Amino acid sequence: MRHCICLILLFFPGISGLSAQSIQLLQKGKDTSLRGLSVVDDSIAWVSGSKGWTVLSKDGGKIWDWKQIKGYENLDFRDIEGFSASKAIIVSAGTPAVILLTIDAGQSWQEVYRNESKEIFLDGMDFWDVDRGIIYGDPINGQMVILETKDGGMSWQNISARNKIPLIDGEASFAASGTNIRTGKGGKVWIATGGVQSRLFRSNDFGLNWEATKLPIIQGKNSTGPFSIAFYKNKSGVAAGGDFLSDTSRVNNLVLTKNGGRSWLKPQITLFGYRSAIEYLSKNELLASGPKGTDRSLDGGKTWMKLSDQGFHTVRKAKSGNLVILTGGNGYIAIYQD
């Protein structure tokens, strides 16, 4: 959401309050905000952030290779998709909208998409497989921007017109962690909007047709709504967020679904403040993180406990494996160990 790009700036204090038994800080001190995160397996993790930075680990987080992409030092790469130790795709938020592809572990990057429109603002990206992926962005003239690729990110086509459901004035999305969009098996994809109005957009056919359901989460202002969604096996799901201008508030900042997003329930004990990322680690275990802390659930999101006062922008589990990484401001990268 373009109105919030300068406001969603998280300050990270000392690490003394961190629970060493669960979360171990691996990197810190770099002048970048790391919001893009993709964990491929138990060895490979890709990270992207502001000021053109990307980071790659090939050994489960022991060594991190930092690179600032020449010519893109002013861009904020808020989402990244890793496929292997060699291949990854990054997408920037704001204008210009740029998508870059590497096939040599970040030694070089190829620009595969650019949009100089003043209205463009891409929010997030996800892939169904190595070939087929989707990117979405804030609406232009009331229409959500949607791009697709069928060739592994080498080219991108604008398919916005397929979604015929208009967004109202003040309804957009948040590029806080790249996780307000999720793909699922069988061509399923979910996209959450927020701000003045919050809804969940769903497609069962790779974005050809769309439905929208109201999300009963806090909304009504440019700073409110869902900042992250996650699904487990297409049915169980969560939408987390809150009001980033009141980041300790626990008012209506989490909702749950058992039917793929068609209806929503409230938790018994909710998150401990605004959270910008939420992730399933298993059917019952979830992590959520934001500026004022990291929370854990062991019952599918029904009840939550405060895991740490340390906050991060995003958290992701390996697509194949168990490695869990968290990233945040000031170049923070951490690993979660149960």
In a domain, 13, yes or no: no
In a domain, 228, yes or no: yes
Domain that holds residue 319: 22-336
Total-model pTM: 0.94
In a domain, 10, yes or no: no
Tell me the two tokens of residue 85. 């130790």
In the chain, the number of structural domains is: 1
Does position 6 have pLDDT exceeding 90, yes or no? no
Q: With CA atoms as reference, report the closest residue to 82 among 178, 193, 190, 187.
A: 178
In a domain, 191, yes or no: yes
- pLDDT tens digits, 295-332: 999 999 999 999 999 999 999 999 999 999 999 999 99
In a domain, 6, yes or no: no
**338 falls in which pLDDT band (50, 70, 90)?**
confident
Q: Is the peptide bond before 96 cis (omega within 30 degrees of 0)?
A: yes
pLDDT for res 21: 53
We report the CATH number of the domain holding residue 107 as 2.130.10.10
Question: Tell me, what amino acid is at 208?
Answer: L
| Residue owning tokens 């802390």 | 293
Does position 19 have pLDDT exceeding 80, yes or no? no
Q: Are strands 188-195 and 171-172 parallel, antiparallel or unpaired?
A: antiparallel
DSSP bridge pairs for 290:
293
| Residue owning tokens 């987080």 | 61
- pLDDT tens digits, 182-229: 999 999 999 999 999 999 999 999 999 999 999 999 999 999 999 999
Which one-letter DSSP state was computed for residue 265?
B
Which one-letter DSSP state was computed for residue 69?
P
Q: What number of CA atoms fall less than 13 Å from residue 200's CA on the CB side?
A: 31
Pairwise CA distance, residues 161 & 159, whole Å: 5
Does position 4 have pLDDT exceeding 80, yes or no? no
In a domain, 31, yes or no: yes
